[in-house]
Amino acid sequence: MKIIMYAVRDYETEAITLAERKFNIVLTKCSDLLSIDNVHLAEGHDSIIFTGNCNVGDKILEKLSSYNIKHVTTRTAGYDNIDLQTLKRLSMKSGHVPRYSPNAISEFTVLSILATLRKYNIMMSRVQKQNYSLSNNIGREIRNMSIGVIGAGRIGFKVIETLAGFKPKKIYANDIIESKDVEKYATYSSLETVLRESDIITLHTNLTDSTYHIINKESIKLMKDNVVIINTCRGGVVDTEAVLDAIDTGKVSGYATDVYEYENNILHYNLEGKVINDELFNRLKSNEKVILSPHCAFYTDEAVENMVEYSIKNIYDYIEIGNSENNISTD
């Protein structure tokens, strides 16, 4: 079983070594993102592994198909970067990793909520300047607030379960699939109800045509004044400009985001001392009511190990038994 892994990062080295031992293989490793310029490196391999910031479009898939590669997999949960129509046309299969540690994202989400409510970034910025005053930055307590969770799957459920311990006024959940586990802590509601009734809205949905910019100018109008928005899923579910405009008007009191809709070539890169020619991003990172983190909510030892191991297992299962439980549907 010959596999090439693209976009290999230093922090994955230990996890890759462990996975190679477990599956008795040696991966071909490429530190660059998968692109049309380096896709030829996959020739002679049975499958490839890439990340969510690799744009796996029609030209790349056609090249892979010409190398007789029938299966590809991303080592992320999201897969909006893969051209599913071309995948289907070429009769190729693809997998993802929906089951890596949900605690990684859920814990970071709760951290983001608490930091936003308590104005943590503003307070710490003052401390760095030896300004130890408390004026104009009073916080709020979760127990006095209602929380809306959009996307109540494995990660969303862990967020709900954790937040329930803070005893908020109410937790609303919105998802196309309902579960009894979620119902122990939250009330399933329409998207409109979640938007209208929540003081905190946290996003845990996949990025699809139906969820693209689900937070936008019109949906923000439905929200309560001083609402807090948290995004630890995909950048494209939020219209960044609309949120920033709402912060400027005071409609949104705080926004914590671990992702950005145009994050490729920005997040996960050391750009210290360089000019970022993205006015929207610069506006985002310079707003003191925004907590911007570098797409790191997943970044725990357990989650990284899961993502590497399960992506290899997707390929192993496909080659050995002809199917993987983590196949991506192209229907």
Domains in the chain, please, with CATH? 3-100+300-321 (3.40.50.720), 102-292 (3.40.50.720)
- Distance from the first to the final alpha carbon of the chain: 28
Which residues are catalytically annotated?
234, 263, 295
311 touches 73 (CB < 8 A): yes
Task: Let me know: does 22 contact 232? Beta carbons within 8 Å.
Answer: no
Per-residue pLDDT of 273-284, as tens digits, reads: 999 999 999 999
pLDDT band, residue 271 (cuts 50/70/90) = very high
Question: Residue 179: is its pLDDT beyond 90?
Answer: yes
Q: What region, left, alpha or beta, does residue 319 occupy, with left being phi > 0 and alpha being psi -120 to 50 degrees?
A: alpha
Portion of the chain with pLDDT greater than 70, in percent = 100
How far, in Å, CA of 271 to CA of 265, rounded? 9
* Mean pLDDT, all residues of the chain: 95
- pLDDT surpassing 90 at residue 78: no
Question: pLDDT tens for residues 27-54?
Answer: 999 999 999 999 999 999 999 999 988 9
Q: Give 183-202 pLDDT, tens digit per residue.
A: 999 999 999 999 999 999 99
Under the banding of pLDDT at 50, 70 and 90, the label for residue 96 is very high
Q: What is the pLDDT of residue 251?
A: 98
Enter the pTM of the model: 0.91
Q: Can you give the pLDDT at residue 53? A: 87
For the four alpha carbons of 122, 125, 131 and 132, in that order, the dihedral sign comes to: positive
Residue 99: pLDDT band by 50, 70, 90 thresholds? confident
State residue 85 phi and psi, 5-degree precision: -65, -45
| Number of other CB atoms surrounding residue 224 within 10 Å | 18
